[in-house]
Amino acid sequence: MPVRKISFPDAAAALELAEAGYDRQRIENITGVDRVTVGDIIRRKGHWLQDVQKPVFDEWRRRTKREIMGRSGEIAVKLLAHAEKNLDKTSPYQAIGMYGILRTHDRLDAGESTSNVEIRSTVELVGLDKLAERLGQRLLPEGQPEK
């Protein structure tokens, strides 16, 4: 079977869609890049390790991202107009949900944090275990053995 050369615009679009949360089958349907190749691009397997780092590839990613953001902006405007027209038919729960989704995606597109996660290392946890043990020893009445 002949190997098809994937263009940088198609590969960049596939990578942008993957990072936006699309599954590989949907990316294949949109871009024409097969699922296996999409996986290779995401994992930077084979020649994609170097190709994804080339300035021309970065430029195609920027263009693709602008196009996707433009389309999503147009859709958001239409959805907001629809929601506003049908506000009397929309429950408060639905309105809050729609606002939350739009706001999260606005933050994501702007490069802002959409969730904050604290990471603790094993060393810190071991230290906390020792501290808890010492505090437990202090809290026990004198002469009472630990269970």
**What's the pTM?**
0.46
CA pair distance 68, 137, nearest whole angstrom? 59
Q: Collapsing DSSP states into helix, strand and coil, what is residue 7?
A: coil
Residue 60 has pLDDT above 80, yes or no: yes
Tell which wins on pLDDT, 12 or 102.
12
Residue 43 has pLDDT above 80, yes or no: yes
Picking from 16, 14, 11, 109, the residue whose alpha carbon sits closest to that of residue 57 is: 11
Q: Collapsing DSSP states into helix, strand and coil, what is residue 63?
A: helix
Q: Where are the domains of the chain?
A: 8-109
Model confidence at 128, in pLDDT bands (50, 70, 90)?
confident
Share of the chain above pLDDT 90, in %: 10
